[in-house]
């Protein structure tokens, strides 16, 4: 691969000195970027580096504070997504811009400019689906679809308008490895047909698989434009983060002993139409180990977490045993008293009350402990506790003791995990510990979880991020449609094997769990 990264011809779109200011925060600071026709260009950076802001400016959702956009050399002002689409831009959003109660065809129709009716949309949908192998049922309601299918809707919606430039914001964050590979094939094909692609990601491997040029953002600025195939993953990571990201240390000797959590034949019917049933889950987490549970979102992770934490009670006490005590029918606080701690997926609104201060938020899980007495809050003790969590877990706060909602996602996540770890629980169960958290904070959180296990606690991590699980877990299992695969040592798993389990293919092939 030649390391030549200079533009070979006339760019399709050029951004010059784009800046965006929100109050004191400079989200984008003089960004220059050029994309060639037919090129797959990566935009790399940490969460908060300004990638999403930049593409929203390009797509006309956000107005830039300064700078110029040139389309085929001609300066343009893109005041709205409608104008962006008229120019030939299409965008696949990270958090899909779909309408749950509408059907696939309606979701596509609603974003099209020009003349259409639902039957022409159905026809064109079928055409595009066949051409690109993107299978979709036009009359299904969106809320019944998987994340991969939802993304297909977004992509088809863009392709129907024959885009010249397709923007994808973190497209693989919700996909299985197999679904992602399918997406890459589609993108390669589009690129070969002359459609430019701006590919936003923080996953180096896929950027190296797809792109010949990558622009790296850090703190709202362009730090480098490189050929990702000519640079090592470590070099690129260093550019993204600004300093070398260390790996999580897991090498401390450990001898798991004593079952802190034992789940036996745990089953639940689904709740509501969106719910997933749990089918005879068996699971053991021992003191001193990290157990990881992989799976695509919506396969029963939330249900499993609710059952383990006691948000939803089991019908038998012995379905869940924590520290030797059958507690399947006990509530959350009773389970906490047994030495368990729980960190739900949703930081704001579930793990923390948005408008409460951090000190008040300590009471959510410490109510039984040192911060209240006879029903009264020990204000000073709560403040001290919040302060020590903030210090121990490097939580960056805009003021002393702010409301939870004022913290960025990564910092709030450090706080809610720190709040549990600081109690030195004998068992901690964490759902998606680093979802949407930047690499620095993610590393700190993972290290804290591993350290806790090495001090003799049992740690159960439910995560969609395979890299994360391979980094921290001693043993792993995959949940698919409410059924858990057998737990096996992490080194016996490969990514491919996990991917197959996530899709349920391994079970379909006669329970072939061997790797």
Binding positions for other proteins, rule: CB under 8 A:
56, 59-63, 80-85, 93, 96-102, 106, 109-111, 116, 272-274
Residue 154 Cβ, how far from other proteins at the closest point, in Å? Answer: 10
Tokens 């004593």 belong to residue: 258
Residue 360 Cβ, how far from other proteins at the closest point, in Å? Answer: 23
Determine the Cα angle at 42 with ends 55 and 228, to 5°: 155
235: tokens are 């070099």
Residue 94 Cβ, how far from other proteins at the closest point, in Å? Answer: 11
475: tokens are 């043993």
Nearer to other proteins, 147 or 378 (CB): 147
What distance in Å separates the CA atoms of residue 180 and residue 472, rounded to the nearest whole number? 23
Residue 153 Cβ, how far from other proteins at the closest point, in Å? Answer: 12
What distance in Å separates the CA atoms of residue 69 and residue 76, rounded to the nearest whole number? 6
What distance in Å separates the CA atoms of residue 340 and residue 326, rounded to the nearest whole number? 13
**Quick check: helix, strand or coil at residue 392?**
helix
What distance in Å separates the CA atoms of residue 129 and residue 126, rounded to the nearest whole number? 5
Q: Which of 20, 50, 42, 147 is nearest to 95 (CA)?
A: 147
Nearer to other proteins, 272 or 510 (CB): 272
Nearer to other proteins, 116 or 184 (CB): 116
Residue 118 Cβ, how far from other proteins at the closest point, in Å? Answer: 9
Residue 480 Cβ, how far from other proteins at the closest point, in Å? Answer: 24
Nearer to other proteins, 333 or 346 (CB): 346
The secondary element (H helix, E strand) that includes residue 362 is helix 358-366
79: tokens are 């005041």
| Parallel/antiparallel/unpaired status of strands 325-326 and 196-201 | unpaired
Nearer to other proteins, 113 or 494 (CB): 113
Residue 281 Cβ, how far from other proteins at the closest point, in Å? Answer: 24
Nearer to other proteins, 62 or 439 (CB): 62
151: tokens are 């993304």
Nearer to other proteins, 38 or 354 (CB): 354
Nearer to other proteins, 97 or 279 (CB): 97
Q: CB under 8 Å, gap of 24 or more: what pairs does 345-354 form?
A: 345/301, 345/302, 345/305, 345/431, 345/432, 345/435, 345/462, 347/409, 347/412, 347/413, 347/416, 348/404, 348/405, 348/412, 351/416, 352/404, 352/412, 352/415, 352/416, 353/404, 354/403, 354/404, 354/405
488: tokens are 């096996």
Residue 313 Cβ, how far from other proteins at the closest point, in Å? Answer: 21
Strand partners, 478: 294
Tokens 């002993």 belong to residue: 257
Residue 107 Cβ, how far from other proteins at the closest point, in Å? Answer: 8
Q: Which residues lie closer than 8 Å to 62 by C-beta, 6 or more apart? A: 20, 53, 56
Nearer to other proteins, 111 or 174 (CB): 111
Nearer to other proteins, 153 or 450 (CB): 153
Residue 270 Cβ, how far from other proteins at the closest point, in Å? Answer: 10
In this structure, the number of other CB atoms found within 10 A of the CB of residue 399 comes to 8
CA-based max dimension of the chain: 74
């Amino acid at each position: 691969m030649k390391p030549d990264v200079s533009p070979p011809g006339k760019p399709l779109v050029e951004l010059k000195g784009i800046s965006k200011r929100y109050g004191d925060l400079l989200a984008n600071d003089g960004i220059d970027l050029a994309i060639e026709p037919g090129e797959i260009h990566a935009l790399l950076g940490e969460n908060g580096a300004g990638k999403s802001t930049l593409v929203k400016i390009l797509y006309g959702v956000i107005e830039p504070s300064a700078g110029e956009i040139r389309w085929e050399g001609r300066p343009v002002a893109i005041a709205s997504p409608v104008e962006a689409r008229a120019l030939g831009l299409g965008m696949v959003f990270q958090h899909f811009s779909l309408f749950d109660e509408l059907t696939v065809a309606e979701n596509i129709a609603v974003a099209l400019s020009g003349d259409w009716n639902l039957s022409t949309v159905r026809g064109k949908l079928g055409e595009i689906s066949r051409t690109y192998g993107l299978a979709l049922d036009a009359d299904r309601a969106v809320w019944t679809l998987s994340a991969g299918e939802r993304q297909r809707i977004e992509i088809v919606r863009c392709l129907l308008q024959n885009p010249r430039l397709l923007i994808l914001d973190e497209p693989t964050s919700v996909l299985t490895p197999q679904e992602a590979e399918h997406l890459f094939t589609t993108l390669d094909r589009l690129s070969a047909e002359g459609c430019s692609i701006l590919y936003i990601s923080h996953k180096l491997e896929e950027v190296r698989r797809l792109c010949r040029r990558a622009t790296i953002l850090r703190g709202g600025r362009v730090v480098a434009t490189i050929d990702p195939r000519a640079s090592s993953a470590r070099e690129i990571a260093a550019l993204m983060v600004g300093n070398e990201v260390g790996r999580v240390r897991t090498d401390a000797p450990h001898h798991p002993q004593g079952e802190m959590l034992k789940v036996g034949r745990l089953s639940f019917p689904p709740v509501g139409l969106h719910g997933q049933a749990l089918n005879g889950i068996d699971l053991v987490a021992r003191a001193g180990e990290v157990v990881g549970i992989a799976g695509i979102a919506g396969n029963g992770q939330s249900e499993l977490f609710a059952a383990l934490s006691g948000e939803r009670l089991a019908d038998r006490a012995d379905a869940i045993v924590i520290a030797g005590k059958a507690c399947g029918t006990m509530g959350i606080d009773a389970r906490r008293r047994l030495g368990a701690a729980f960190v739900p997926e949703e930081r704001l609104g579930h793990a923390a009350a948005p408008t409460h201060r951090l000190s008040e938020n300590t009471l959510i899980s410490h109510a039984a402990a040192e911060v209240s007495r006879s029903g009264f809050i020990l204000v000073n003790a709560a403040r001290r506790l919040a302060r020590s969590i903030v210090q121990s877990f490097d939580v960056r706060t805009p003021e002393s003791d702010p409301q939870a909602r004022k913290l960025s996602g990564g910092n709030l996540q450090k706080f809610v995990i720190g709040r549990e770890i600081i109690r030195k629980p004998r068992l901690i169960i964490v759902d998606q510990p680093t979802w949407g958290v930047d690499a620095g904070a993610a590393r700190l959180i993972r290290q804290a979880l591993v350290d806790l296990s090495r001090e003799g606690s049992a740690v159960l991590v439910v995560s969609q991020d395979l890299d994360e699980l391979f980094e921290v877990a001693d043993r792993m299992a995959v949940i698919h449609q409410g059924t858990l695969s057998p737990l096996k040592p992490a080194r016996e798993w490969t990514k491919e094997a996990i991917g197959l389990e996530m899709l349920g293919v391994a079970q379909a092939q006669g329970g072939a769990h061997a790797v």
